[in-house]
Amino acid sequence: MSKSATLETDDQLELRRAARALFAKHASERDVRIWDEEGIYPDGLYREIAGLGWYDIVAEGTVEGAAGLLAALCEEIGRGSSDLVALFNLNLSGLRDLQRWGTPEQLEKYGAPVLRGERRLSIAVSEPDVGSDAASVTTRAVAAGDGWVLNGQKTYCEGAGIKGSVMELVAKVGDGGRKRDQLAVFMVPVDTPGIEVRRMPALGRNISGIYEVFLRDVELPADALLGEVGQGWQILKERLVLERIMISSGFVGSSSAVIDLTVAYANEREQFGKPIASFQGVSLPLAEMNVRLDAARCAVRRSAELFDLGLACEVESTMAKFLCGQIYAESSALAMQIQGAYGYVRDHPLPMHHSDGIIARVVAGPPSLQLDYVARSMGLRVGA
């Protein structure tokens, strides 16, 4: 197993042990591979996670002090699949939004079923013509009587079609002023009348699934509004830092698993009378990848430590996400190159990692936007 010399608390180490025990029992390598190949959501696994109280880390109040715990936990989950981390993150981030912006009644209505493992949370922001420019959404919410009526289309909504999902859906309310001031977030169960959900065939992320969502005169009660009208942009912005820390940690775990698989293969596979690990064309690229992985892990942990101290870490978490997305994509590509046909067949976990590694660069912000943000933080006159 790839290791780092950085120290962790007893609580973090205990969470790692608990995650390994859970996955050994309920999410073996074979289980995860089948879920990915067949597009199966492992309801039993997430009920077990709920039963272990991992969602309570954010549901019980302030999250400052929790990022280090979540980073350790997500790294272990990521060793199984970054897609499983994505689903875990959607629940945790949604619960945090409810804790931060919701009423006690909303916490009971939308949060309590997640804590019991009965429902799950998703997010619906992107649209056919709206990606990184989230403030330009065209899905519209109109006040009607004692509630709201929604019309529009969302796309690339991860996990939205899973039975029992509730979407945090970003919609435009009203006109005039800055685009971001017109945004609102609504809690929308996918089984609400007027909603049609279609699964999109995708290269990866097959456990959670990627979905299109069509909304036609969808009627929602007044308490579906999370926070207030005009706070949608702030809700999205505030969830992003911790979300990046968790997702990046998952990519570190997935990259570690890929490198470990490839090291084992290189030591066992013999050509020309010796293990292929003895050839520098194999060993040196793997060693360099491991150096870069450790740097990415340190970047994530620094972000988590800053977050837990209540210090600003938008730039640090952005850099960590950039590094971790890149390393997962590149380590899985290198592993495929070294393992050749052995890693290409579907009864091996590498095809899943290779597919999920490709999208790792893009989720939670593409590399170009991340580098643009870092450039601005350096004082470069970007766009001047």
Which residues have CB under 8 Å from 104's CB, separation 6+? none
Helices (H) and strands (E) in the chain, counts: 14, 10
Q: Please compute the mean of the pLDDT values over residues 341-361 and round it to a whole number.
A: 91
Residue length of the chain? 384
d(CA 122, CA 189): 10
d(CA 154, CA 128): 7
The answer to whether residue 232 scores a pLDDT higher than 60 is yes
- CA atoms 133, 242, 47, 202: torsion sign: positive
* Strand 210-221, strand 147-158: pairing: antiparallel
Delimit the CATH 1.10.540.10 region(s) of the chain.
Answer: 10-119
The answer to whether residue 323 scores a pLDDT higher than 60 is yes
Ramachandran quadrant class, 189 (left: phi over 0; alpha: psi -120 to 50; beta: rest): beta
**pLDDT confidence of 347, banded at 50, 70, 90?**
confident
Fold (CATH) for 10-119: Butyryl-Coa Dehydrogenase, subunit A; domain 1 (1.10.540)
**pLDDT confidence of 138, banded at 50, 70, 90?**
very high
Which residues have CB under 8 Å from 76's CB, separation 6+? 15, 16, 19, 20, 23, 253
Of 82-86, 90-94, 131-135, which range is least confident? 131-135
The answer to whether residue 352 scores a pLDDT higher than 60 is yes
Residue 171, helix vs strand vs coil: strand
> With respect to CATH, is domain 234-377 assigned 1.20.140.10?
yes
**What is the rounded average pLDDT for all residues in the chain?**
93
**pTM summary value:** 0.94
Delimit the CATH 1.20.140.10 region(s) of the chain.
Answer: 234-377
DSSP tag of 134: G
The residue that leads in pLDDT, 176 or 374, is: 374
Delimit the CATH 2.40.110.10 region(s) of the chain.
Answer: 121-230
Q: How many CA atoms lie within 13 A of 238 on its CB side?
A: 17
pLDDT tens digits along 148-158? 999 999 999 99
pLDDT at 62: 67
pLDDT at 314: 95
State both tokens at 26: 């309920």
β-bridge mates for residue 215, sequence order: 152, 195
CATH architecture of structural domain 121-230: Beta Barrel (2.40)
Other residues' Cβ atoms within 10 Å of the Cβ of residue 304: 27
The answer to whether residue 53 scores a pLDDT higher than 60 is yes
pLDDT tens digits along 275-314? 999 999 999 999 999 999 999 999 999 999 999 999 999 9
Q: Please compute the mean of the pLDDT values over residues 253-264 and round it to a whole number.
A: 97
Q: Please compute the mean of the pLDDT values over residues 353-367 and round it to a whole number.
A: 90
